[in-house]
Structure 1
Amino acid sequence: MGKYNYTDREKDFNKVLKMNQNESFSLEKQCSSRIYKLDEHINSSEALLKSLGYALPNKSVIKKEQKLSSKIQEIKSYDDLVKKANAEIHNDVELEDLLSEKEFQEAYKRLDAIHDEFSHKTGIVNKTDLIFLGIATALQTVKSLLFGRVAGKFDYGNSFNPDARLAHNDKSIEKEHRRANDGFKEKHENNGHGYWMYILYQTPPYDITKGSPSINRNMEGGYHRIHTLGHDPILGWIFGTANILTDTITFEDFKSNRVIRNPKMMITPESVPLAKLFGESFEMCKADSLNLPAAIFAEGCHLKSDEFTKLGLPVPILEAINTDFASKLYKSNYDALCFSRDLKIIGASAGISIFIDMIIGLVHGLFNKEKINKDLYEVRTRKILLISNSIASTSNIIQTLITDNPKNLDIGGLLVSLSHLFMDLRFISRIKEEFIKQELNKDLIKELERLDSI
């Protein structure tokens, strides 16, 4: 067993090479045997001519036209060639069966030479590239180091002030909620009365906590929003809508229970599997075409009414991933609005990093004075961007650790650096692979031309 692993296609290719090698050796033996016999006849003929006193002609002035004619079996496609090779060669063929140790060493030397040539053509060693690298690094580093100070002016990472929010039962919220419901009802009441009207005005089932002790759930009273997926700003559009349609409540661990409204509204021990939850939701949608629009509208109104209250809404999806951390954030007055604000700041930071990269990349592209291959020159550009972003992000991480202030961490710039790390390295690897193939193809063409000349 050799040191290389082969795909099925490569195994077939090795067999084709081995078959051609065997045929070449066979042809060489036949030619050598015939040439030896011809030399014997020529030598005996020359000896006979000399014994008869004839002078031999000068071989250098004899014009000869040699023709090698043989019947060659035409193979129409590579697949036919593979079939022929598999028919003749039954065992797997490895490179060690085709090449000698000396040939291996020569191949490795040629590969190293191609690697060196690629590095030379794409290396950041000339004055122009180094200047661009310095400028890009300076811009990205200054931007990342100033991030904490600038972002702090926009309350980045800060919690909200509950005193600036409304109570969950504030009259203005209830009034706006009812006004929205009445508007939906007036718009669709021509379609007839149905269960969808109850959906609009009744309390959402995931807004109740009574009965939770009987199922061993601690919903923490006013903090129940962190424990119900109906209050999640993203997941709520799926699970909250389904809960409204089916009178169920889905908790942060994706388990659901039935909710009853009479004689009083409470959570029951009846478990509702997810498959049953969505199955019942589908049946409710089929029962009346307005049930689903009404449920979605009710979910949206409820999220909107809770959004600006003293407790707000939890950070999206986090409660389903890490309930303890989500609860800690929520109880420290860091809610979905705070998260949305910080996301915008992170997005703006990432946008600035991308803008700097775009300017550096575009201007650097204008300095291709050597007129080298476009892809090879782009490799140099991407190396500049990759190195500059990596240095900037590293500096920002060090600054964050020294100051022990996580708010200084430029997450947007870090994400851009990570994208460069994955995308640029993949691009460079692809261009390098193509370059190696092109150089090997050049070698193959030269060898074929040499054979044609012979």
Structure 2
Amino acid sequence: MSNDKGDYLTDGLRVAVHHKQMLDQLGSEHDEQRYSLDAAINSSEALLRRLGKALPVKDSSTSNTLQVITPVRTKSWEEILAEAKQAIPGEVDFNDVLTPAEIDAVSAKHQKLGEHLGWLGSLDRYDVALAVSAGILSGLIDIFLVQVPAHPGFLGSPASEGGWLSNKVKELFGEVLPPDKIKELEGLYKVSFDPSTSKGLEEAVAGLGPRTHRYQSLGHDPILGFIFGVKDVLCGEFTAIDKFGNVIVQQTAAPLLEGEHFIIRLLEAIRKVGGHLASDVATSAGLPPPLMPLLSFFQFGTIGKQGYTIAEVARQMYRSGYDLRHFIAASVPLAISELIVRLGFMVRKLNAGATLAEAFPNAAHPQLRRQLLIAHGVAGVINAGKVTVTSNPLSISWPLVLTLLRYGMPEMMYLIYGQEKERAKLVETEIMADYRAIHQELDTQLKMLPHIVI
């Protein structure tokens, strides 16, 4: 076969066109020879009749003649392909082999192979009903139990004592990390990325203050902290984003364990970052929600009477109590809807006869991912209504935003690239199955051919 795997269909088409041309030529020659032979036989029979001779009777008895089968050398694919390329050096097309009606029939057949990959084909009414129900439940939990973090008033909205679930999560963190434990951790895990003001810094960081320094320091982000925070500790630096969206990196301490083996330094840096984040999570300001500080780069928008940008609103949200603890509380309804949808997906697959591995609720499966998108999309609509009614950005579910991005981006990439690629694989599998069927049929017909008598 061709070295280029992508050309095997073209090579196969070229061979098919060449063989069709040879078969057409052989068929034409066979018809001419048969016509000539029939004419000669008819002429001979007519002559014998005119001479009054009886026509010979066909002998139907079995012949005892020794039958010798002359083996035919089978050509390799490379030889067959070389002959086809020599005979047809130019471009080949399916129109050279198939009629328009046959091409339409094949196209329709292949088109049906990808029907189940689309949204309408991959989900039935039960899948949609389960996803919508889970989304509604998630939205209702967010409205009645999560609500907003406790705050004294935000962008004109009245003060709030906070939702039951939000306050409960804060209480649990307070029980696990009481003030004396926090003080102990603060003493053990001092880091270079913890300046609370610009005092003593080589370069001032606009907006940096005791209430916002964790939001502006990338080392305090629960996710980014294990990248930028570890880097800062290793290098003795402080990486911050000022309130205008500028990234500022400056030296604030000596590099960690300079001269030691890098692996030892890395492990110690990770330990320090983890310990420092633990010391901050249960304080009054807490830690910022994961990835939320990146909104500092969104220096646009006009929100509220003050005309705040998205970056400023996000910063003010953190100052008003929207921290990691509230983020965890807001994640609970999402976790419940995820559990419902994933369990439903698994049960239905198992009932349909799938194996445990096939039924495993992996979000990479398009059907499950779409169910989750529907569930979180419904919850998102409810959350948008909550924000509209309260006129309070603190009502926004940041974990829901991240979750929609988590599933929405892969689905978009799948619809643009992956869906057609998967459909092409199905078509390729169908073509190869047809090839095997043709080979099987040819083998059967060859076995049925009469032996050649020599």
TM range (shorter): 0.5 to 0.7
Alpha-carbon deviations, 1:430-454, whole Å to 9, x = none?
Answer: 8975895598569858975996678
CA distance in 2, matches of 1:286, 1:386: 44
Are the structure 2 counterparts of residues 156 and 64 from structure 1 closer, same or farther at C-alpha, using a change threshold of 3 Å?
Answer: farther
Match of 1:10 in 2: 9
1:34 shift after superposition: 2.7
1:42 shift after superposition: 1.7
Choose from 231, 245, 254 the match for 1:242.
Answer: 231
Q: Which amino acid aligns with 1:235?
A: L
1:149 shift after superposition: 2.8
CA distance in 2, matches of 1:358, 1:81: 49
CA distance in 1, matches of 2:24, 2:84: 16
Q: Which amino acid aligns with 2:346?
A: M
Match of 1:313 in 2: 287
Aligned residue pairs total: 378
Choose from 317, 333, 348 the match for 1:345.
Answer: 333
1:336 shift after superposition: 1.6
Q: Which amino acid aligns with 1:220?
A: L
CA distance in 2, matches of 1:411, 1:43: 89
Choose from 251, 264, 270 the match for 1:296.
Answer: 270
User: Secondary structure in 2 aligned to 1:221?
Assistant: coil
User: Secondary structure in 1 aligned to 2:146?
Assistant: coil
User: Secondary structure in 1 aligned to 2:48?
Assistant: helix
Choose from 135, 141, 146 the match for 2:137.
Answer: 146
Match of 1:74 in 2: 74
User: Secondary structure in 2 aligned to 1:34?
Assistant: helix
1:82 shift after superposition: 2.2
Alpha-carbon deviations, 1:177-231, whole Å to 9, x = none?
Answer: 267x3xxxxxxxxxxxxxxxxxx6x553442533688646304312122222111
Q: Which amino acid aligns with 2:226?
A: W
1:54 shift after superposition: 1.0
CA distance in 1, matches of 2:422, 2:60: 58
Report percent identity of matched pairs.
22
Choose from 252, 261, 265 the match for 1:259.
Answer: 252
Alpha-carbon deviations, 1:112-160, whole Å to 9, x = none?
Answer: 478789999xxx9xxxxxxx96666555444432333334454255457
1:104 shift after superposition: 1.9
Aligned partners of 1:16 and 1:82 also within 8 Å = yes
Q: Which amino acid aligns with 1:224?
A: H
CA distance in 1, matches of 2:72, 2:125: 63
CA distance in 2, matches of 1:304, 1:39: 100
Aligned partners of 1:245 and 1:281 also within 8 Å = yes
Alpha-carbon deviations, 1:64-95, whole Å to 9, x = none?
Answer: 99x9x99855213x344223322332112111
CA distance in 1, matches of 2:16, 2:87: 12
CA distance in 1, matches of 2:235, 2:112: 68
Are the structure 2 counterparts of residues 386 and 178 from structure 1 closer, same or farther at C-alpha, using a change threshold of 3 Å?
Answer: closer
Query: Does residue 336 of structure 1 match 2:324?
Result: yes
Q: Which amino acid aligns with 2:322?
A: Y
Match of 1:176 in 2: 184
1:18 shift after superposition: 1.6
Query: Does residue 232 of structure 1 match 2:218?
Result: no
Please give the root-mean-square deviation of Cα atoms over the aligned residues, in Å. 5.3
1:326 shift after superposition: 3.9
User: Secondary structure in 2 aligned to 1:207?
Assistant: coil
Aligned partners of 2:203 and 2:250 also within 8 Å = no
1:176 shift after superposition: 1.5
Are the structure 2 counterparts of residues 90 and 384 from structure 1 closer, same or farther at C-alpha, using a change threshold of 3 Å?
Answer: closer
CA distance in 2, matches of 1:259, 1:416: 35
CA distance in 2, matches of 1:205, 1:81: 70
Match of 1:85 in 2: 84
Are the structure 2 counterparts of residues 442 and 300 from structure 1 closer, same or farther at C-alpha, using a change threshold of 3 Å?
Answer: closer
Aligned partners of 2:224 and 2:291 also within 8 Å = yes
Q: TM-score, normalised by structure 2?
A: 0.62
Are the structure 2 counterparts of residues 149 and 432 from structure 1 closer, same or farther at C-alpha, using a change threshold of 3 Å?
Answer: same
Are the structure 2 counterparts of residues 105 and 83 from structure 1 closer, same or farther at C-alpha, using a change threshold of 3 Å?
Answer: same
Are the structure 2 counterparts of residues 211 and 336 from structure 1 closer, same or farther at C-alpha, using a change threshold of 3 Å?
Answer: same
Aligned partners of 2:193 and 2:233 also within 8 Å = yes
Aligned partners of 1:16 and 1:85 also within 8 Å = yes
CA distance in 2, matches of 1:114, 1:47: 57
Q: Mean Cα displacement is larger for which, 240-249 or 214-223?
A: 214-223
Q: TM-score, normalised by structure 1?
A: 0.62
Aligned partners of 2:183 and 2:279 also within 8 Å = no
User: Secondary structure in 2 aligned to 1:249?
Assistant: strand
Alpha-carbon deviations, 1:20-76, whole Å to 9, x = none?
Answer: 1122123223323432332343233223312321133577x86899x9x99855213
User: Secondary structure in 1 aligned to 2:251?
Assistant: strand
Q: Which amino acid aligns with 1:240?
A: G
Structure 1 residue runs of 5 or longer lacking an equivalent are: 1-5, 125-131, 182-199, 262-279, 367-374, 376-381
More helix by share: 1
Aligned partners of 2:196 and 2:208 also within 8 Å = no
User: Secondary structure in 2 aligned to 1:217?
Assistant: coil
Are the structure 2 counterparts of residues 75 and 159 from structure 1 closer, same or farther at C-alpha, using a change threshold of 3 Å?
Answer: farther
CA distance in 1, matches of 2:179, 2:377: 51
CA distance in 1, matches of 2:378, 2:197: 48
CA distance in 2, matches of 1:384, 1:247: 47
Are the structure 2 counterparts of residues 176 and 34 from structure 1 closer, same or farther at C-alpha, using a change threshold of 3 Å?
Answer: same
